[in-house]
Amino acid sequence: MLTYEYQCNNCGLRFERQQNMKDEPVKKCPECQGEVQRLISGGTGFILKSLDVGQTSRSKSCSLEDTGKTCCGASQRCGKSACGDNG
C-alpha cells in the first residue's frame, strides 16, 4: 500500500489515503465533496547496503573485468547467469 496526499480545490482540505497503485485516485473531498487533486510528494526511497564500500556480492575472481574470463571460462560475456545466481 502506498500513501497518497490529496488537496481539495474547493475548501483546501489536505488529506492522505492509503491505496494500491492500481486503485483509482480519490475524486471528491471527504468534507465538502469538492474536486480534489493528488499532490506530488517526495515519497520514500530505499538504500541498498553492501558489506563494504566497493564490494559486490560476486567474488572478484569471477569477474570478466578483473580476470579476463567469465565464471564459465569464456573470454566474453555469454548471456548466462553469473556464478551463484539462480535466475
pLDDT tens column, 57-85:
544 455 666 677 766 777 776 666 656 55
User: What b/e sequence results for 18-52 when a residue is b if at least 16 CB atoms lie within 10 Å of its CB, and e otherwise?
Assistant: eeeeeeeebeebeeeeeebeeeeeeeeeeeeeeee
pTM passes above 0.75: no
pLDDT tens column, 3-39:
899 999 999 999 999 999 899 999 999 999 999 999 9
Domain definitions of the chain by residue range: 2-38
Per-residue confidence (pLDDT) for residue 47, from 0 to 100: 66
Residue with the larger pLDDT of the pair 8 and 41: 8
